[in-house]
Amino acid sequence: MAYLFETEEHAAIRATVRKFALAHIAPHGAKWEEDEEFPIELYKTAATAGITGIGYPEAVGGQGGDLSHVLVAIEEKILAGRSVGTMVGLGTHGIALPPIVRFGTPQQHERFVAPCLREGKISSLAITEPSGGSDVASLRTRAVRDGDHYVITGAKTFITSGTRADFVTTAVRTGGEGHGGISLIVIEKGTPGFDASKKLKKTGWWASDTAELHFDNCRVPVANRIGPENGAFPMIMQNFAAERLMLAGQCVAIAELAYREAIAYARDRQAFGKPLTGFQVTRHKLADMASQIAAARSLTGETCVRALRGEQLEVAGLAAKAKNVATDMCSYVCDQAVQIHGGYGYMRETLVERLYRDARLYPIGGGTREIMNEVIAKTEGY
Ligand SMILES: Cc1cc2nc3c(=O)[nH]c(=O)nc-3n(C[C@H](O)[C@H](O)[C@H](O)COP(=O)(O)OP(=O)(O)OC[C@H]3O[C@@H](n4cnc5c(N)ncnc54)[C@H](O)[C@@H]3O)c2cc1C
């Protein structure tokens, strides 16, 4: 099932991304997940194939298109590539670059954005700190102005692609307490005092790397600041809304894949002399899964269309709703897919076992389920 907004253009993007994912991800995805790493060359392969630039203006090195094109590209990467860890690792530019595209200077577009989209340079977004991720306004990493540089000290954690990133779009405190004292600064690999820890071990998303970053008196040029000093909080919130929409889209795609796996298994597996689909209880399970996927897809699609119409106020709340609806749905669908697979569903060789673990991230990453409810409560006005 496609999103209601899809046109021939989306179909063409789906075909291109499917071809890429079938050729470059699917044959190796399961091994990369076990190895907890995919080859770094894949960033370059994806950029050269025009996959990385989908949804970015041509002026900054992209292929053109908008959020709706990114949403379908993500879905095809998951459905055809069958490796969520690879998809998220390959996709961190999707959260690291948009603030630079929106608020950066042409020089910053040329220095940071174009090399990622055209050559496969790697970027990460670093907001979360060891002392807390939900309360962004309280972040502690400090950047002190010294002439035409900032001197940055602090730490970030759980940063996707953090060990491999050529640069990190980093939220730092340049001013006083609270949300009015935060700036976004690009910190480049190799900057003295910038160090990425070894990869963190985690429940799912194994093929992606997740790191803790340390900044010890890092001297970073003022020219690396994105947008106005102390003006980053609204930029970060705008970025979060788009990220949450994309995370909802990932949930829809993961659930769709788990559902397809469950149908195939239920048709094939025999019990008491008939396939599992011969039992009404299995058919109803599949029907419930299909219904919930359709509902989450509808809300995700509507949020995307409203975002494209520029309904910013509406979209912050809708993106939070879509993320919660889609994450709950994805957890449920993956759990049911495991159940339909019986003992095989608990085995590492089975795709739905991995999807079940991958799904657990979504009520946490990009803002937790509880924080989404806070956003919803605020936008609903109570
Ligand atoms: C695999 C993975 C990849 C990630 N990638 C990135 C990345 O690339 N960049 C990045 O910046 N971050 C990343 N994160 C971090 C992620 O965004 C944070 O984990 C998330 O925002 C929650 O922050 P926290 O872990 O510090 O939890 P905390 O903020 O400490 O929250 C702990 C618990 O308290 C609850 N809680 C907190 N405040 C409230 C409240 N006001 N009301 C009700 N409940 C509340 C939370 O919902 C949660 O259940 C990643 C995390 C993971 C696990």
CB atoms within 10 A of CB 135: 10
User: Whole-angstrom distance between the N-terminal and C-terminal Cα of the chain?
Assistant: 36
Distance CA 189, CA 224 (A): 13
Phi and psi, residue 257, nearest 5° = -65, -45
Q: How far apart (Å, rounded) are the C-alpha atoms in residues 356 and 141?
A: 34
- To the question of pTM greater than 0.95 for the whole model, the response is yes
**Integer Cα distance of 274 and 283 in angstroms:** 13
CA distance 236 to 170: 10
Rounded distance between C-alpha atoms, residue 321 and residue 248, angstroms: 9
Q: Which residues of the chain form beta strands (DSSP E)?
A: 123-126, 142-146, 149-160, 167-173, 182-188, 194-196, 210-221, 225-226, 270-271, 274-275
Nearest to 204 by CA among 27, 98, 363: 363
Residue 270, C-beta contacts closer than 8 angstroms, at least 6 positions apart: 276
Which tokens hold the place of 126? 């670093």
**Measured CA angle at 377 (ends 254, 297), to 5 deg:** 25
Q: Which helix (H) or strand (E) holds 255?
A: helix 232-268
The answer to whether residues 34 and 85 touch, using CB atoms and an 8 Å cutoff, is no
pLDDT at 58: 97
What's the token pair of residue 183?
Answer: 């700036």
- What number of other Cβ atoms are within 10 A of residue 58's Cβ? 11
Q: Is 219 within 8 Å of 192 (Cβ atoms)? A: yes
8 Å CB contact between 149 and 224: no
Q: Which of 243, 256, 261, 353 is catalytic?
A: 243
Residue ranges of E strands in 174-286: 182-188, 194-196, 210-221, 225-226, 270-271, 274-275
Give the residue carrying structure tokens 């609806």: 325
**CA distance linking residue 163 with residue 353, whole number of Å:** 27
pLDDT tens, residue order, the chain (382 aa): 899 999 999 999 999 999 999 999 999 999 999 999 999 999 999 999 999 999 999 999 999 999 999 999 999 999 999 999 999 999 999 999 999 999 999 999 999 999 999 999 999 999 999 999 999 999 999 999 999 999 999 999 999 999 999 999 999 999 999 999 999 999 999 999 999 987 899 999 999 999 999 999 999 999 999 999 999 999 999 999 999 999 999 999 999 999 999 999 999 999 999 999 999 999 999 999 999 999 999 999 999 999 999 998 889 999 999 999 999 999 999 999 999 999 999 999 999 999 999 999 999 999 999 999 999 999 999 9
Cα–Cα dist 186/221, whole Å:
9
Q: Report the distance separating Cα 109 and Cα 116, nearest Å.
A: 10
**pLDDT at position 199:** 87
Q: Would you tell me the crossing angle of helices 280-308 and 67-81 to the nearest 10 degrees?
A: 150
* CA 156 – ligand 1 centroid, Å: 12
Is residue 132 helix, strand or coil? strand
Pocket probe for ligand 1: among 84, 122, 128, the residue whose CB has the most ligand atoms within 8 Å is 128
Q: Which residue has tokens 């079940």? A: 356
The pick from 86, 368, 375, 378 for probing ligand 1's pocket by mutation, whose C-beta has the most ligand atoms within 8 angstroms, reads: 368
Question: Which amino acid residue places its CA nearest to atom 12 of ligand 1?
Answer: 128
Whole-number Å distance between alpha carbons of 131 and 113: 30
**Residue with CA nearest ligand 1 atom 23:** 133
Pocket test for ligand 1, best of 158, 168, 201, 324 (most atoms within 8 A of CB): 158
pLDDT of the residue at 313: 80
Residue 243 is a catalytic residue:
yes
- Residues with beta carbon inside 6 Å of ligand 1? 124-128, 132-134, 158-160, 202, 205, 210, 361, 364-368, 370-371, 374
* Distance of CA 118 from the midpoint of ligand 1 (Å): 32
Name the token pair of 376: 């919803």
Question: In 87-242, where do the E strands start and end?
Answer: 123-126, 142-146, 149-160, 167-173, 182-188, 194-196, 210-221, 225-226
What is the per-residue pLDDT for 198? 77
The residue whose C-alpha atom lies closest to atom 6 belonging to ligand 1 is 159
Using the mean position of ligand 1's atoms as its centre, give its distance from the Cα of residue 70 in Å: 24
